[in-house]
Amino acid sequence: MKLFNFVGMALLCLSITSLKAQDLKDLRAKPDTAISVQKEQPLNIKTIRPIVPKLNLEVDYWKHWTKFGINLNQASFNDNWKGGGVGSIAVGLNANHKSDYTKDNFNFVTEVDLRYGKIKNTNNIAKKNNDRIFWDNKLSYKLSANWALFTSVTFESQFDAGYKYKTVNGRDTIDYIENAFMAPAYLTESFGLEYKPSNEFSLRFGTGTARQTFILDERVKPRSGEGFFEKYGYYRDPNNPSAGTGERFGVKEDRTFANALAFQLTGNLDKNFTDKLNVKARYNLFADY
């Protein structure tokens, strides 16, 4: 009897467990098996042409530098000043312009340097103390980092007449004229190699250089004895009528032009040591062949 009751209880427990398991299966969420079929819409692509403004940008291969200067100096001394001295006043003007064009291996540089100044001491006539016309043009083609082939044309002269002075009764007076505008004037053409390790320093070796010297002012022109007589109506040395002025600036007597072939060495230095200190120098060696 007890065995029967035990078996009955076991069957009852199994039935309850089965019913609970069945209920849990029914309560579980089933996945959505409905498949939605949608047609793909075609892409609507339109060509858009944005408006691009014209900037008109250009590469400028030029660089320019321009400087102007005016110098005015005055010194005056009182008669009671025991240190002594001579009063003076001096005026100087200068202008410098440089343009540089660089593209690929080609480089062109043109530089103009103009200077003029005068000084007047007390009880003396005014004299010029600075006078220069300088125009240099150089075209080069770079061969390596520091070396280039170059050709250049340089013009040099002065603005005003320069005189030789003599002292008469303690005062300076004009003796004779020494130079003037285009007397002399130098036109130099050069070709060779240039060494330029930096923008501050360069050295030109002008193995093929020609220089023309002009004396176009009649007052400076060198004259022979006869030429001097024709110009002024008297002989420069009455005791020696054939005595002339001699050669001037490499130009022979009674001529206004001379040509020379030479080797030219030109060094240029333009360096800023500080914000307020700049050193600029040019050295030129001209050796005739």
In the chain, where are the structural domains located? 103-109+132-221+256-288
- Which of 65-79, 94-108, 132-146, 259-273 has the least mean pLDDT? 65-79
Q: Is the dihedral of CA 247, 289, 270, 187 positive or negative?
A: positive
- DSSP run (H or E) holding 23: helix 2-27
Burial status of residue 182 (CB atoms within 10 A of its CB: 0-12, 13-18, 19 or more): middle
Query: Quick count: other Cβ atoms within 10 Å of Cβ 220?
Result: 23
Which residue in this structure is represented by tokens 């010029």? 128
Single-letter amino acid, residue 51: I
CA proximity to 249, closest of 260, 241, 240: 260
Position 15 scores a pLDDT of 54
Write the pLDDT tens digit of every residue in 10-22.
555 555 555 454 5
User: What whole-number distance in Å separates Cα of residue 100 and Cα of residue 247?
Assistant: 39
Phi, psi (degrees; rounded to nearest 5) at 51: -85, 115
**In the structure, what pLDDT confidence band is assigned to residue 163 with cuts at 50, 70 and 90?**
very high
**pTM value surpassing 0.85:** no
- Which of 73-87, 88-102, 134-148, 172-186 has the least mean pLDDT? 73-87
CA proximity to 185, closest of 265, 118, 111, 250: 250
| CATH, domain 103-109+132-221+256-288, list 2.60.40, 2.40.160, 1.10.150, 1.10.20 | 2.40.160
Query: Quick count: other Cβ atoms within 10 Å of Cβ 144?
Result: 6
**In the structure, what pLDDT confidence band is assigned to residue 265 with cuts at 50, 70 and 90?**
very high
User: What whole-number distance in Å separates Cα of residue 59 and Cα of residue 61?
Assistant: 6
End-to-end CA distance of the chain: 150
The answer to whether residue 202 scores a pLDDT higher than 80 is: yes
Length of the chain: 289
DSSP three-state, residue 242: coil
Task: Describe the chain by its helix, strand, coil percentages, rounded to 5.
Answer: 10, 50, 35
